[in-house]
Structure 1
Amino acid sequence: MFDLSSLGIGYGSLLMLMSMIVLLLTGMQLAFVTCLVALVFAVGWFGVAALPLIASRLYSFVGGYVFLAVPMFVLMAALLDRSGIARDLFDAMKVFGRKLRGGVAVQTLLVAIVLASMSGVIGGETVLLGILALPQMLRLGYNRKLAIGTTCAGGALGTMLPPSIVLIIYGLTASVSIGDLFKASFVPALLLAASYIVYVLVISCLHPEYAPLPTEEELAADADVNYFKALLFPLLTVITVLGSIYTGIASVTESSALGVVGIMISAAIRGELNFSMLKDSAKATMSTCGMIIWIGIGATALVGVYNLMGGIDFVESTILALSGGSVMGTVLIMMLILLVLGMFLDWVGVALLTMPIFVPIISGLGLDPIWFGVVFCLNMQVSFLSPPFGPAAFYLKSVAPKDISLGEIFSSLLPFIALQVLVLASVIFFPQLALWWK
């Protein structure tokens, strides 16, 4: 077999990248692409003696105790999808939409914040809001782009607000405290959500025709909502999950289990818990977690082989050379790389492929990896909405009215992408926004 080590790390890195691009273009899944490339380069660069080293890295990845939090939070989201909790929460939040121009859009964002604080998964939240909020705003005569953008951007907030699955995966990859990541992301997440709300209120004020006020008949219909029933269970779940983490009563893994129990008890009291609901939720959880684990296995193997090849030193020297040795220039180059990768790869793959390389560089520059985790998460927020493969847009398209095209969804998201970039830049240049608690 050809000795790949004779290429040197520069040409070897280029060959590895091109191999991945070619295989991805064939339609092969990212998990299998990374596994295959890792295997070929391990044997071609070091020989078969390197294979046990890869196996040991895989075991350390899948054996992490905190990794148990991922299926628990995904299960919470699946149970929420199949219960009426989110629907009642949206109805109860109508109190915020009364006699306020743009109020239903603000109500949608407030519901998105509560749902994000309960599960931390974007897919379910975007679909739920697409079913509950989008048709109502369109029926009330809201501007189509404002309604679509608010629904889609709000649904994606789950990746930023604790307990975010993105932050959990980053914490596992970067070997930093997930609890600290949750604390650090709290202010930037609220800043992002607040920027959405301010934008909606300002655009509604400047263009009153974008957000008509509800009629007297619609206001009267809101009086039938049982606010106690609608708000009690979601708020109890949020307090249980986040309160137990922030107070130190429970770890992230333990709080995720508490959250699942809380949602199940809530569904049981509401008379919605049954075997069919549990079976469907379990199947959805296994499907999502299976994808995450397989991508993690492939990415861990690939990064392990690349590290053995001397890849971290090569990437560090290349980025520092491009940035001229500037710390901020290095961070901005990393942000650009993440933005480009996020347009084409799933966030799990981006995190597991890049963070083992980027985080040591960040630490070596004297920067806080907790802060970088929040910056990474904000960067992924942009990729969730950005064309051509922004997943939030595809989730919304799956439940949106048939006359709403994918192109219209992406064009509606442009103002929200601009707000994301603004908040991302703010946290980069003012790290204390993420490190306020230290």
Structure 2
Amino acid sequence: MSQEHIALFMFASMMLMLFTGQRVFGAIGAIAAIAAMALWGTGGSDIPFAAAMKLMKWYPLLTLPMFIFMGYVLSESRLADDLYRMFHIWFGNVNGGLAMGTIGLMVLISAMNGLSVAGMAIGATIALPELLRRNYDKRMVTGVIQAGSSLGILVPPSVVLVLYAMIARQPVGQLWLAGVLPGLMMAGMFVLYIWIRCRIQPELGPALPDAGNVPRAEKIRLLGAGLLPLLIFAAMMVPFVNGWTSLVESSAIGALTAFFAAVLKRRMTWNVFETSVRQTLGITCMFMWIILAALGFGAVFDGLGAVSAIENLFTEQLGLSPIMILILMQLSFIVMGTFLDDTAMLVIVAPLYVPLVGALGFDLIWYGVLYTITTQIAYMTPPFGYNLFLMRAMAPPEISLRDIYVSIIPFVGVMVLALTLIMIFPQIALWLPEYVYQK
């Protein structure tokens, strides 16, 4: 059997195991271990050992539990409630203002947690009932929450970009900085769409008359309480951007600042602390197992020379240009996103795609941003988008699955436009990391 056929068999076997409902790390790790033993005998046992040693020595991995803990402290202590109350008071008297404020909430939640699921959960529990109660159109608000949650894996500290950095062997700090401007640009495009749509159809997002009757002193108080998460983010990122602290040190500052903020607000109960620690431990271990499996799977693929074979297929036999190959890879992410989550997609195709992107001459930092946006588009693309069913599980009964499908169409269009702009103008993603690291 040729190396190409072995690689294809490995890939097909892994997909089959995933379809049977096996855990991602179990399916990928098992196929990698069986293939290594079959190809190289007992010597194949060195592959998982080497992958484990590489994982344990990867210093930036320490940021993962720090940022996850910070996010759970802020969400479990309900500091996000103050944030949404601030947006309600300051933007509610504008048509669509509360929906625009929800996008702002999602950006700051992303800066707290780095997981899209966290943004979806907070948006569905805090923002969705309030928006519906204020007579916002149910399709509008459902789309807003799904689109806003998509920023979770793009705006730093993105947990998924940590995983990408490990697999692609790229600096985490540069990847996070590369996600800042695209994330803010996409959030701005969402806000612009909401503003234009509500100007044309005011009934979709009616202004809230009570928002304008709040005393100025109350507005200032809410502004201070609502900006607390932003101050925590600034305390973490400003020293890192200026080169005063390392990435790991900044993550520790963020976790400690969030903890002491919850203590000062008298919201750090034992239950909040225990829940935050348990959730942090569970998610961190899950990601470490996934990274370990991905490294082992990638090592087998490298040993087979599968990447060179696929590059030869695309460029020599099919005669495709590098940009056409890149577009095909992005389309494959959208297809896979209908039944897999972002980490599973990355782990499955990274051994093939990441080296191929580098061989074609593209910047791997830039490609990391393209990957995150494309997977979030895939999450929200009917009929089987991951986020669509997650939203259905959290939404009230009056919001049907059809409403959820229809609600996301314009926001997916905005995301495709943002993706196209970043593909045409790579400096949108690359300018900030180049500026910071050159300084």
* TM-score, with length taken from structure 1: 0.92
User: Which one-letter code corresponds to 1:43 in the other structure?
Assistant: M
Of 208, 213, 236, the residue aligned with 1:220 is 213
**CA separation in 2, counterparts of 1:16 and 1:78?**
37
Determine whether 1:404 maps to 2:395. Answer: no
Quote the offset at 1:235 in angstroms. 2.2
Number of aligned residue pairs? 431
8 Å Cα contact 2:89/2:212 also seen in 1: no
Partner of 1:174: 168
8 Å Cα contact 1:96/1:106 also seen in 2: no
* SS class of match (2:430): coil
Of 339, 353, 359, the residue aligned with 1:358 is 353
Of 175, 184, 188, the residue aligned with 2:182 is 188
Partner of 1:423: 418
Partner of 1:4: none
Residues 342 and 110 (structure 1), Cα distance of their counterparts in 2 relative to 1, 3 Å cut: same
Of 373, 384, 393, the residue aligned with 2:388 is 393
Determine whether 1:289 maps to 2:284. Answer: yes
Quote the offset at 1:266 in angstroms. 0.8
**CA separation in 1, counterparts of 2:134 and 2:251?**
38
8 Å Cα contact 1:102/1:212 also seen in 2: yes
Partner of 2:326: 331
Quote the offset at 1:126 in angstroms. 1.4
Of 85, 97, 104, the residue aligned with 1:103 is 97
Which structure 2 residue ranges, 5 or more long, are not aligned? 435-439
User: Which one-letter code corresponds to 1:254 in the other structure?
Assistant: E
**CA separation in 1, counterparts of 2:205 and 2:278?**
40
Partner of 1:24: 18
8 Å Cα contact 2:311/2:356 also seen in 1: yes
Of 363, 373, 379, the residue aligned with 2:368 is 373
Partner of 1:3: none
User: Which one-letter code corresponds to 2:18 in the other structure?
Assistant: L
Of 405, 414, 417, the residue aligned with 2:409 is 414
Quote the offset at 1:204 in angstroms. 0.6
Partner of 2:228: 233
**CA separation in 1, counterparts of 2:255 and 2:108?**
16
**CA separation in 2, counterparts of 1:287 and 1:41?**
29
User: Which one-letter code corresponds to 1:220 in the other structure?
Assistant: N
Residues 199 and 222 (structure 1), Cα distance of their counterparts in 2 relative to 1, 3 Å cut: farther
8 Å Cα contact 1:77/1:119 also seen in 2: yes
8 Å Cα contact 1:112/1:125 also seen in 2: yes
Residues 130 and 97 (structure 1), Cα distance of their counterparts in 2 relative to 1, 3 Å cut: same
Of 311, 335, 345, the residue aligned with 1:316 is 311
**CA separation in 2, counterparts of 1:228 and 1:143?**
27
Of 335, 343, 350, the residue aligned with 2:338 is 343
User: Which one-letter code corresponds to 1:63 in the other structure?
Assistant: K
**CA separation in 2, counterparts of 1:114 and 1:376?**
21
User: Which one-letter code corresponds to 1:173 in the other structure?
Assistant: I
Q: Deviations over 1:10-36 (max 9, x none)?
A: 322232222122222222122111122
* TM-score, with length taken from structure 2: 0.92
Determine whether 1:204 maps to 2:198. Answer: yes
8 Å Cα contact 2:163/2:291 also seen in 1: no
User: Which one-letter code corresponds to 2:140 in the other structure?
Assistant: L
Residues 228 and 332 (structure 1), Cα distance of their counterparts in 2 relative to 1, 3 Å cut: closer
Q: Deviations over 1:25-59 (max 9, x none)?
A: 22212211112211221122222222113321232
8 Å Cα contact 1:120/1:163 also seen in 2: yes
Sequence identity (%): 28
User: Which one-letter code corresponds to 2:213 in the other structure?
Assistant: A
8 Å Cα contact 1:378/1:424 also seen in 2: yes
Quote the offset at 1:346 in angstroms. 2.3
